[in-house]
Amino acid sequence: MASEASFDIVSKTDRQEVDNALNQAAKEVANRFDFRNVDAGIRWSGQSVEIQANSEERAKAVLDVFKDKLVKRGVSLKAIEAGEPKPSGKLYKLGVDLKEGISQENAKKISKIIRDEGPKGVRAQIQGDELRVSSKKKDDLQQVISLLKGKDLDVALQFTNYR
């Protein structure tokens, strides 16, 4: 009679939203007075984002504009990983990588949190770069979701396939 209820914990970034944020940031950098004559720019470079400017501070300022646009578009800052500005000729370049999926280490950490602090009878299984959480009671799954939302983990989590 009692079937299993479950949901998946994933870490994905909406690439379209990131692209929109990048385009907005590029437009703002092109139009802002403090970025005039500093060769500042932001663009896609394969699967990552490349920021360039003529000084380290300007490159970091472009990164701040990009982060601001990501937050406004609902993309978690935990989903990006920015490097340090490196000199490249007369410009400074800064790479920003997008993080997708939950690493094995983080999956084990989340699974341990669910086991230790979650309700009894809830199971978490690691399936590649996502977790499947299942229980007989849907209320227990709701508690797990609120528990994980309250934790400060270093990955952006989404909860999908709730059934």
95-132 residue pLDDT tens: 999 998 898 999 999 999 999 998 999 999 999 889 99
Identify the residue whose tokens are 């009878």: 121
Query: Who's near 97: CB < 8 A, 6+ residues apart?
Result: 47, 48, 80, 81, 82, 83
SS3 category, 56 = helix
SS3 category, 140 = helix
Mean local confidence (pLDDT), 137-145: 92
What integer pLDDT is reported at residue 153 of this predicted model?
A: 87
Residue 31: HSE in the Cβ half-sphere, 13 Å Cα cutoff? 7
Please tell me the pTM assigned to this model: 0.86
What integer pLDDT is reported at residue 1 of this predicted model?
A: 40
Mean local confidence (pLDDT), 18-46: 93
Domains of the chain: 5-12+102-160 (3.30.70.860), 15-98 (3.30.70.990)
